[in-house]
Structure formats: C-alpha cells, structure tokens
Amino acid sequence: MRADILTLATLISLTTALVADIPSSSRPENNLRPWRRISDQIIRKIWRIPEKQNVFTAPKVDSSLANHGLPLGKLQARYGEDMVLRFNISTPKEASALAEASSILFLDVWEFTEDWVDIRMAKDVVPSLLGLLPDSLKHSHRPLMRDFSLAETIFDTQPSSGSDPSAPSNGLKTFTLGPSSSSKVHENNIFFSDYQPLSVITHWMQLLRSLFPTHVRLANIGISYEGRDIPAMRVGVHPKNNDKPSGPRKTIIISGGSHAREWISVSTVNYVAWSLITSFGKSRSVTELLEAFDWIFIPTLNPDGYVYSWETDRLWRKNRQPTSLRFCNGVDLDRSFNFKWDGESSRGNPCSESYAGEAPFEGVEAKRFADWAKNETENHNVEFVGFLDLHSYSQQVLYPYSFSCTESPPTLENLEELALGLAKAIRVSHGGYKYKATSACQGNVAMTGVKKIFPRMESGGGSALDWFYHELRVNYAYQIKLRDTGSYGFLLPKDNIIPTGKEMLHAVKYFGKYLAGEIGLADTASSEEPQLKDPEPEPEIEDVEDVASELRRRRRR
C-alpha cells in the first residue's frame, strides 16, 4: 500500500515538469492524445522504460501494481465452506417463506429480482434453510459459480490474480503502454486494467486535478466514521461569454461504493469521470455537457467499508461503525437516509446485512452525504437536477420509489421515460448488455398476467434514491445496478471494468443530453457528433433517434 501512495505521489509531482518537457520526437507515431502521452511519459520515467518500448513488466515485490489480494489460504479459511444459491420464485408464498427463513438464519441476501433470489450461506446451513421452505423451493434452486468454490472465485477475481489470461505465469504483471493493432487506447489504460484500492484512487484523482485544472476540482463530501475523507471530483466549466446573471448551477451527482463489496460501481464512476474529463475540448457533445452542468463524481461513499473489503473481508457490505452488538459492526448506508426509514424491521438485528441503525441517519457517511448536499443547495448556489447511484448487480435501471410498491412518485411518467432511454442507450452501445428499467421496489413483483406484490426480501426504506428524489427534489434520480446477472455477482472479473464503464458512459451522455433538453419527445439528437479537435476514442451514443422515437411511440400508445 505504501508503494501505491509513493508511486502516485511521484506521478503528481512529475506532472508539471513533464507537461512542459515532452519532446515532439518522443511522441508515438499513432498520435496518442496529450493526456496519454503525459501519463505514459510519467510511467516511463518512474520505471526507466526505453522510449520505444511499448510493454513493461512491473516487479511483483514493491510495485504499486502488484497483487493486492489476500492469499488463497486465508480466503479458504474464511469462505471455504460458503456457497451462493439461486432460488427461482414464482408466488408470494415462496417469497414470504424465503424472506422469513433468511432473516431467521441471518443469511446474506446477495440480490433479488422479480424472478430469483441469490443467497450466500455456509454449506452446512443449506439443510436448515430448505427445512424452512415450501416443497416448491426445495427443488427450485441451483448453486452459482458451480465450477469453483466461493473462496477460489474471490481469489481468481482479486486484482492481479493469476486468473487473468494476460498475467504471465511467472508471477509478474505486464502492462501495455501504447495502442496495439488489437485493442484501443482505453483498453491499454493501466488504471482501468484492474480494480484499484482507495489509496491509489485518491492520488489518481489528485493527478487528474493537476493535469486538468480548467475543469476538474477536488471536493470532500465529509469524514467517515474511521476518519477517512469521502473524496469527490467536481467536473465542469462555466462559459465566460455569458453576461446574464447566473442562476443556481445545475449539478448532477454520480456516486458508487455505498456497499463496500460492489467494486465495479467504484471503477465505473472513475471510468465515466475520466472519459468526460479527457474528452473536454475534443468532443463537442462532452464539452457542451460540462458547460451545461457540474458533475460530482463520488467513487466510494463508504471508504471504511471499501478498505475493509480489500484488506479483510472481500464480501463486506456495510460501513464499519460499531453497533449495540460488539461482534456485529456496520450500518447499511443505503437504508440509513431519513425518508421512509424502516429501521424497526432490523433494529434488533445489527448482524443483518441490511441493518439500518437505531435511528435515521445513524450511518455516519449517509449523514455526511446528506449534509453536504443540503449545504451545496443552501449556501453554494447549486441545484441538483440528476442523481445516479451505481450499485451491483442484476443489470437494472431503477427509479423511485424504493420504500413502497403501492405509492407512485408524482413524476412517474418522466422517470419511466428516461429510465427506458438509459436502458436503451446501454443496450445499443458497443457490446452493451441488456438492462431492465423498472421501479426500485419491483424486485419483489412478479408479472403473471396480473401484478402481484411480493413480500420484501429486505426493507426498501431509507434509500439514497428516495431521499434525493423526495427530500432534495432531484427530479431525475436513479439507482443503476451494473453487471452481471449472477454468474459472478459481486465478484465480477476485471475484464468487465472497461466494457461496463463504456456502457455506462453511453448512459451518462444520454442522461445529460436529456436533462439539457436535447433528447425528448419533441427533440432528437444526431448520432453523429461534430468534433472540435482530435477524433474522440469513445463512440458517441448510437441510435439516439431510435431511442427517442421508441419513447415517442410508447407515449402515443
């Protein structure tokens, strides 16, 4: 970890000198963009790599990019007897029995939709669980990750683990510095070749601020329970040729890492931020979005839990503050907000993965986030117009309300319209996956001719989604659950980082264009965006007109 900090601190200190001192003769023939040229020069200087060398091998010992994961032996000791079962549910009776049994046995519900529920448990608990379930569920389940134990899956999906086919068998890790004939610039970005610890992320954010001071500023959302900063980046630029009095600055929040084990959400926030930052001044559409809005990127709202998931328990979900039970730490931050808080359901069970605390906003980081947001609106002339809260997994675009399936938000039609557009923007991106757009409470609703409301697998009250929508009046608030649909769950392999980032980048661009009024029932945007300078490596949203026409068709229906 010290090497991580030392290396990236060195990157920052070298930035200014390198910006002024990169000779044109050293630039690759393939004309890398300035940001990539600078970063590559920094890396070459630190590791003393020859100018013409495109691949280098970082030593396993004392390298900031070496294996950060826990050894297999420790993982076997902690998770060796654990497994994840998927139960297919089709009736309210089944859902009720499964929810009750999971609560009785203190099981870790990984994810649930209208069709299935994934639950982690020790193998010797399986008979006890099945004994509490109706006969229809005793034969309606299957193990996930069936070819490997949970411990092996964690080991194989750790940063720089040997499961990466690009990692040499000698225990060293190879990184490509320049584009090759088989991959694009983004695939060669070292930072996104793997998941990154908090120490690396914070220094990377400082590096971006140093390289792009015109449109990147650092912010601190608050201090976590254990005393860590909750770091954020504010990305945006205000046009200087506007003589009219300026109203509140329209601002969009994109956050991740509320649940510590959802690493892909952290990487995706970073990927989208990096893509917008480095495209400013080169892509007309991105430049306009950064002029129209400020964008707040919060990689992890839960820094204590995120660090703990790296150093101790990969599957940790909550924050790290103590509870009334000495051996059960942590509050679920996404159940801690003060709107329709439903902590009574878990008040007596601090060991629950969805424990909401003893009172609203007991989760320290949730309270810091809410206080920061209120302060921005009350004292800093900010109007929050959009909120994207990234989670994993299940590939869903969810809109309010989370707390209830029987109450509808007053702007339901608008929320549904944009949710469908976001899901379509993801799907039509290169290699984009299919995401479902639905209400956040719909994970417990099955469609069998008539909508049936199932019992909740866990409380939906106290969510950040509902709080920002109802209390802060953010009209377009969404929770997006990223890849996958259960093959790996929270243990998504690192080769999904860039594809997931790309599909979310398409969604974020669509989101910004919609809020700017460029996309809607009356307006469509061209899929061909004019360029200001160099061609942008990331493709613009494809089939935007197709998305808008589909939304128009649905409205007429």
Q: What is the largest CA-CA distance in the chain?
A: 73
DSSP at 531: B
Which class does domain 81-148 fall in? Answer: alpha beta
Residues of the chain with CATH 3.40.630.10: 303-324+362-556
Tokens of 216: 């990147």
Q: Are 390 and 451 in contact (CB under 8 A)?
A: no
* CB of 429 closer than 8 Å to CB of 504: no
Check: CB of residue 235 under 8 Å from CB of residue 269: no
What is the C-alpha separation between 218 and 115, in angstroms, rounded?
42
Cα 341 to Cα 81, 89, 467, distances in angstroms: 35, 27, 10
Tell me the residue ranges of DSSP E strands in 267-420: 294-298, 382-392, 396-399
pTM of the model: 0.81
Contacts by residues 545-550 (CB-CB < 8 Å, ≥ 24 positions apart): 546/424, 546/428, 547/421, 547/424, 547/425, 547/428, 547/510, 547/519, 548/421, 548/519, 548/520, 548/521, 548/523, 548/524, 549/524, 550/420, 550/424
Per-residue pLDDT of the chain (557 residues; tens, 9 = 90+): 545 544 555 455 445 444 433 333 333 334 455 555 665 555 445 434 445 444 433 333 333 333 457 899 999 999 999 999 999 999 888 988 999 999 899 899 999 888 899 999 999 999 999 999 999 999 999 999 876 789 999 998 888 643 333 333 333 333 333 333 333 545 568 899 999 999 999 999 999 999 999 999 999 999 999 999 999 999 999 766 555 657 899 999 999 999 999 999 999 999 999 999 999 999 999 999 999 999 999 999 999 999 999 999 999 999 999 999 999 999 999 999 999 998 777 677 899 999 999 999 999 999 999 999 999 999 999 999 999 999 999 999 999 999 998 999 999 999 999 999 999 999 999 788 999 999 998 754 433 334 455 555 667 899 999 999 999 999 999 999 999 999 999 999 999 999 999 999 999 999 999 999 987 643 333 333 434 444 344 444 344 445 455 555 544 54
CATH 3.30.70.1150 domain locations along the chain? 81-148
Superfamily of domain 303-324+362-556: Zn peptidases (3.40.630.10)
Q: Helix or strand or coil: residue 356?
A: coil
Is omega for the bond preceding 225 within 30 degrees of 0, making it cis?
no
